[in-house]
Chains A and B, each alone.
Chain A
Amino acid sequence: MRIASRGIPLLLAALAIAYPWLVPNYYLVYAGALTVMYAAMATSWNLLGGFTGYVSLGHSAFFGLGAYGTGLLVTRLDVPWVVALVVSAVLVTAFAAGVGVAAVRVRGASFVIVSIALVSMMNLVVQGWRSLTGGSTGLQVPSPFPGLHRGQTHMVFFYLFLALLALALLVWWYVSRSRFGAGLRAIREDEDKAESLGVPTGAYKVTAFSLSALFVALAGGLYALWFGSLDPIFVFSILIGSYMVLMSLLGGVRHLFGPLLGALIVAPAGEYFLIALGETQIHLTATGLVLVLVVLFMPDGILARLTRRRAGPSIHDQSADQRLQEVTP
């Protein structure tokens, strides 16, 4: 078990790094990069959704803002793309902290409403502010690697997204082992009790909210540099936000690799649908039905099924003796 749990992730990581050389054409590299991008975003979403149980359908707002921030900095102010990426992600994180203060005041369903409203708002702003963003015609961002042809660009961005995914996974893992993570879990299990026990719930929730916005914004910025053209209706679509939720739920929100697994299933399936059925709207129906089925029959996700752990309290009971044995050598 030990060897399997250590070895399989390493093997998968090696496979992921070798992936662009293993596949026969650049389309599959592109599809791979897209999948890794979604995996990074879903993992980042899970920093909020998995730990605190606050389901946000509006993380595409941060995706879109990160994309537009990076794109605008590159095109209007001529800053180097790395700087633009980082600056826009930091700005979006600060913005998310501001929104978070208002948003996490409400729980449950109201929070989901707020997150949906956020996307619609940002969509309106970006489409309405024509002089800055180009409105509904979109924004063109020059490629950061003009020397490379299209396929090589896909390859570069595959690795950039892979690095982002690794970073997001690392942060999730680190948070899950920290006192901060324990506090967030306590909020999920019973927010009032957590608060009465002295967990600074408000500050923790806002921190988790902004942290999860950070990586989504970075993914958005990379997306802008990668695709080179931004369509406000697509980048601020509620569909991207719901993909993050669907992937995380399908894989298992309480597991480090849950969102990644979900992304590996949902994103290729979406691409396949696009090829097999063309540009019809039926893929929405497929996404919707899968979401309904997951919510009804597998709300704990595939990994929870596989590891056969029932969704009991995630802070597991431990006697003082056991605890003592862990710390004393």
Chain B
Amino acid sequence: MQETVLPAAGAPNSTLLYILIPLLPFLGFLINGLLNKRLSGTIAGVIGSATVLGSFLISAYLFSTFQYQYTVTLFDWISVGSMQIPFSYQIDQLSLIMLLLVTGVGFLIHVYSIGYMHHDENVGKYFSFLNLFVFSMLVLVLGANFVILFIGWEGVGLCSYLLIGFWNKHENFNNAAKKAFIINRVGDLGFLLGIFLIYLTFNSVQYGEVFQKASLAQFGPYTASICTAITLLLFVGAMGKSAQLPLYTWLPDAMAGPTPVSALIHAATMVTAGIYMVLRSNVLFTLSPTTLEVVGIVGLATAFFAATIGLAQNDIKKVLAYSTVSQLGYMFLALGVMGYTSSMFHVLTHAFFKALMFLGAGSVIHAMSNEQDMRRMGGLRKALPITFITFLIGCLAISGIPPFSGFFSKDEILSHVYEHNKLMWAIGLFTSFLTAFYMFRLLFLTFFGQFRGTEEQKHHLHESPASMTLPLIILAVLAAVGGFMGAPMILGKHYLADYLAPLFTYSQRINPAAFAAEVDHNTELMLIGASVAAGVLGIVLAYVQYVSRGVLPAEDEGQRSAPESLVYHKYYVDELYNALFVRPIMGLSRGLYRFVEQGIIDPIVNGFGRITLGGGQLLRYVQTGTTGMYLILMVVGIVLILALNLFRF
């Protein structure tokens, strides 16, 4: 699998191209960051977008000329004793697809941001952070070993923190940023321990070496248990980054950031880093069926749990956030049942339709003068026709209505789950029904019925500028037809599966059964029918509830039945975490501060200060200014030194 061949000199794929892919956004970051206030907003946006477009074009070129997998070593990075970690890039099917995704969707969102952030005073800062994010994400997907992956991983985490707290004058937003950062630390600890264990076991962190050794099981006894430990630790990292139970609570709060940021970082790219990492190390995961089972169950639980919360949210971005958590759960569910390709497929389609919906929500918020509560919207269909149509396509895609992209990827995942376990399939199907329901609840509440905002907002309603609608249209087209790259067997060829197949050769050798299984056409048709029916049922129910009956969600103080209230308050998970972790830790810190810091350390440090000060007070009387006194002291000193030398005390 691993052909570590450097491109021959003079070959079209010169090393410069690989360096340029992440370097261009980094340049954009430097320019926008250094000339922050001196650039006008539009120029900053154009620079930011152009650098990402450059990376996209190079990636597309590499994609079109790609022939075989190879690694490109840029320089020796860490070499301590026997540990050699080169700074190298891996060019293969997975990294190329991720490159196209990150730069392609990233570019559209950059363009969108030019319009969306037009009124903001810190556009330069915004674009420099956004470019830094793209840079980190590209390093993450290009790296040829776990350490570079980890660097990119932390880089995107940092940018996520910076951009969630972008409007740093609101304390709540800052708290949301901190929450995201701290919860991700929990996951990162697991990831880091996983990397250590990988190095300990395989004596290398290079992908090629690790996976080859793993596939040959050349790492001594306890093979299975070591693999389980490694993969569980890696999965903890993925849980944090990709917002899985129990570390998902940061993602809904992360909606405090500007909406394009939510689209880019918290829907399309960064949160899929966990899935990328699992896909990358699919060999290790295949070796450990226990971990796969855990991944599947966590994914399914997250998908279901987040979908139920999404039913009762009234903030347009919060609904999308929980829907993202839920869809990420689907992707992990697919990984858990070894539907690696379908997971990647869903990453791609989800990136299209979820970025589309976030940008659409951004367009709505823009038109509504920063109103995010769906109870204050309604009837926006006429005022925002382009946003409405594109949003509708996104909703149809995520609800799994053929022939939109989400249908294909979700159906594929569900059919993998069906082979694995019927009960899990049923829960997944029910979740799919919930998804359709809450997405169309959002659509109907926002775009149908009567306008429920203030007169001022109504007066101000307008379709967004072209820089915002154009990305919407492009993403809508992708969300509509993107599914055909992986049509089910009965409809045609699965291009994506064929393309990605080389990535899974080791896994296939380890567990041929999981890859050989193929559902017969009748079952496949039944599965398609079931998932379409679930989607349609969800849409119809939402229509009856919110359009025919015109029900409006209750106000915050309104009466709710017990289960409704439970869902509305997100199962009190935040409160639970507060009581379980935040408050004890805060209490401990406060105690330590009071007793250790103020009681022990401060007195010691201040004591030194006081001793010096007091000593100085005493000694200052020696300095009389009388020359005679100085001379006497000098002579006494000399005599003392002489006496000491003579008598050798």
Physical interaction between A and B: no
